[in-house]
């Protein structure tokens, strides 16, 4: 199995969607272990492989994955009050979650989107979908990168 196939299988397993062809993938390998560290498309970083087997997707990667209809089930929509904070890269609290996709699980990578399906930030879910919809205290998504934090 080559690296392209490995990444496509990884994306299918993690996000539970059929992946459209992404384009020409470019890989960066670890010098010490020879494993894939991250991959890019056209020079733009798509995702980094985490040590736990997950993927840390970037905003660029989330925008590409949003082209798949089923990827929205891996997303979270915050209320309008919290949008500026999330865009800056601040964590999303569960009381500000307006909608949450059914594929969101504890520790999974999620995209935070607005009601028009524009990607605002990416991060890791600290609560599962069912808990996120009912529990109103604490951090729901630890944001890794917001669209405004990228401009600095």
In sign, the C-alpha dihedral spanning 4, 10, 17, 79 is negative
Quote the pLDDT of residue 148: 85
DSSP character at residue 147: T
Q: What residue ranges do the domains of the chain occupy?
A: 3-64, 70-151
Mean pLDDT across the chain, nearest whole number?
90
Alpha helices in the chain (DSSP H): 3-15, 59-65, 83-87, 129-134
Q: Which of 56, 48, 42 is nearest to 107 (CA)?
A: 56
Q: How far is CA 62 from CA 46, 81, 99, 117, 135, in A?
A: 8, 22, 17, 11, 26
Q: Which of 124, 4, 122 is nearest to 66 (CA)?
A: 122
Q: What whole-number distance in Å separates Cα of residue 52 and Cα of residue 107?
A: 10
Quote the pLDDT of residue 20: 67
Asked whether the beta carbons of 146 and 87 are under 8 A apart, the reply is yes
Domain 70-151: homologous superfamily in CATH: PUA domain (2.30.130.10)
Q: What whole-number distance in Å separates Cα of residue 17 and Cα of residue 38?
A: 20
Fold assignment, 3-64: Nuclear Transport Factor 2; Chain: A, (3.10.450)
Same fold, 3-64 and 70-151: no
- Each residue's pLDDT, cut to its tens digit, for the chain (152 residues) gives 788 888 888 888 889 887 766 778 899 999 999 888 999 998 999 999 988 888 999 999 999 999 988 999 999 999 999 999 999 999 999 999 999 999 999 999 999 999 999 999 999 999 999 998 888 889 999 999 999 865 54
Phi, psi of 82 (to 5 degrees): -95, -5
């Amino acid at each position: 199995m080559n690296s392209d196939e490995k990444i496509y299988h990884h994306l299918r397993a993690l996000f539970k969607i059929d992946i459209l062809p992404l384009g020409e993938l470019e890989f960066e390998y670890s010098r010490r272990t020879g494993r894939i560290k991250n991959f890019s498309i056209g020079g733009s970083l798509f995702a980094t492989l985490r040590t736990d087997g997950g993927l840390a997707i970037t905003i660029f990667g989330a925008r590409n994955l949003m082209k798949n209809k089923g990827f929205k089930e891996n997303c979270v929509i915050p209320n309008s009050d919290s949008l500026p904070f999330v865009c800056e890269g601040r964590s999303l609290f569960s009381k500000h979650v307006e909608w949450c996709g059914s594929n969101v699980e504890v520790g999974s990578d999620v995209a935070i989107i607005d009601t028009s399906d524009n990607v605002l930030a990416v991060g890791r879910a600290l609560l599962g979908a069912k808990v996120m919809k009912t529990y109103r205290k604490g951090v729901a998504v630890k944001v890794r990168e917001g669209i405004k934090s990228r401009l600095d």
